[in-house]
Amino acid sequence: MSMLALDRALLVERETQILELKDKISAIQRSISELHAVKRSIQERIDSYTYPVLALPTEIITQIFLHYIPLYPQPPPLVGLRSPTTLTHICRKWRQIALATPRLWRALKLTPSYMLPSEEIVASIVALWTERSACTTLSIFANHSPQVMPLLLPHRSRWEYLNLDFDNGSQIQTLHIDGPMPLLRSLTLAVWDAVDTPLPLLEVPLLRTVVINDHGPPSLVLPWSQLTSLTLRTTHPDACLSILRAASQLVQCRLHLWSQPTPLGGAAVVLPRLESLVLERDSEVCREFFESLVAPALRRLEIPEAFLRPHVVETLNAFISKSGCTLQSLQITKLAALLSYCSYTVAFSSIPQVSFL
């Protein structure tokens, strides 16, 4: 065969190969088109899918959000886990719901931390949260901060729970918190160094619970007669008796007494509604303090053994007889082995629950 014939045969073979490749390319292109069609169909299904949680009514999502943060009046973190701020970062719908739910933003703990190292950052968050809380009542946990506290004072009419921790009483006075607080129900105050300047907090018609930690200002003036729950820590017995004489509506009372060298005087203190009394500290003066109390409605008593010495059974029986109360629970703390557990149980067999700590 001539060279020309060979070239023609080779050319025909190459053309045949090209046609076969074209057919393969067409088949692949058809497969790609089919795959694109399947992809579009799947994407359309994905785009039309609604996550079940997003299909819930707004009211239910709101309740879920409220269960995400600590139970009011406990404050959530300003940032991070269990902070309502986290809910605003999930999706647009959740952000809209969170920002439209004032109760998520009504409890604030305003102390710098490693996540919020400066008071300037905390102050900016305070301004934002008080705005988002709208007209709801507020629960405030704060220490003395010249930048933060002034932002809270305009909202004092909404304060319901107030927890303040200051180095000294003069810091409180500079804040001018002695104005009307018509919705305040609970006040917790810690002051390390008290001052004698009067601090009246009288315009608090709903106040029922007061906790004074450390050295509360001796000149603190409260409507004691309307309180139903009172906790006093590091308080001199005579100052405590003076307060109790005015707090005739108390139902619950916890007292941590500070030793006092001088004897107590004055008439007995009658607490006609008191149901629960917890006493802490141990000294002879504290025993004299206990003997000054009369609580006819008392049902629960927790008391250090030192309050009852030297005649433990006689002292406690005298208190019960004088008060005319029917104790349901008695807990003796800080035992010194004057009596055995069995001796206590026998001596107070009429009390359903006797325990020791």
Higher pLDDT, 79 or 4: 79
Q: Is a pLDDT exceeding 70 seen at residue 175?
A: no
Least confident of 15-24, 153-162, 239-248: 15-24
What mean pLDDT comes out for the span 340-350? 85
β 107-110/138-143 pair status: parallel
Provide Rg for the chain, Cα atoms: 36
C-alpha to C-alpha distances, 266 to 110, 116, 178, 254, 307, nearest whole angstrom: 43, 51, 31, 21, 19
Q: Are 283 and 306 in contact (CB under 8 A)?
A: yes
| Sequence ranges of the domains in the chain | 223-357
Question: 12-30 pLDDT, tens per residue?
Answer: 788 888 888 998 999 999 9
Q: Please list the helix, strand and coil fractions of the chain in percent, rounded to the nearest 5, in that order.
A: 40, 20, 35
| Tens digits of residue pLDDT in 185-227 | 999 988 766 656 567 788 999 999 999 986 555 567 899 999 9
Q: What pLDDT sits at residue 79?
A: 87
Q: How confident is the model at residue 342 (pLDDT cuts 50, 70, 90)?
A: confident
> Hey, what are 192's tokens?
């390390």
